[in-house]
Amino acid sequence: MHPTLQATFITSYTFRRIVAVKIRLKRLGKIRAPYYRIVVADSRTKRDGRVIEEIGKYHPTEEPSFIEVDSARAQYWLSVGAQPTEQVAALLKLTGDWGTFKGDANAVSTVKTAEPKAAFSVDAGKKSVLKPQAKKAEAPAESNTSDAEAPAAEADAE
């Protein structure tokens, strides 16, 4: 192979191996009840297609919205050149990961978390909704039959 053709072949081959990586949302859930995974994927793949890595979750329908991002993995992918979409960039700003990536020393998470639900306690003043079932009288009947058989056994023994 001619040296110039070989150099062209090598550079074009390595150029193809470099992949444009995006950090974007992958939609899951039902109609009008979405939830998303924050994923790292090749920019040429479909929205819900093959992904390289999942780095977080986003549930917009909860109150307050649930946002969870693996900060270390997000920092890694941003450092190697992955470009976040507008929606993911907004989420990364809320979690403080975007500020950390840009060098802001005091970047903190402003994500609101839901308050834990109170434990269920039974009110003693209220009556039970379930009615107690009456116990069947089979147990005394069985004891009577065993007593009836016992005298017959004694009579045979004499």
pLDDT at 137: 62
The rounded distance, in Å, linking the Cα atoms of 87 and 71 is 17
Please tell me whether residue 102 adopts helix, strand or coil conformation.
Answer: helix
pLDDT at 122: 73
Average pLDDT, the chain: 79
The rounded distance, in Å, linking the Cα atoms of 131 and 6 is 88
pLDDT at 90: 93
Domain 19-102 homologous superfamily, CATH: Ribosomal protein S16 (3.30.1320.10)
Q: Write the CA distances from 147 to 137, 140, 157, 158, integer angstroms.
A: 17, 11, 16, 18
- What pairs with residue 125 in β-bridges? none
* Residue the block writes with tokens 């109150």: 63
Neighbour-count burial of 94, counting CB atoms closer than 10 A to its CB (0-12 exposed, 13-18 middle, 19+ buried): middle
The rounded distance, in Å, linking the Cα atoms of 39 and 88 is 9
Question: pTM for this structure?
Answer: 0.61
Domain boundaries, the chain: 19-102
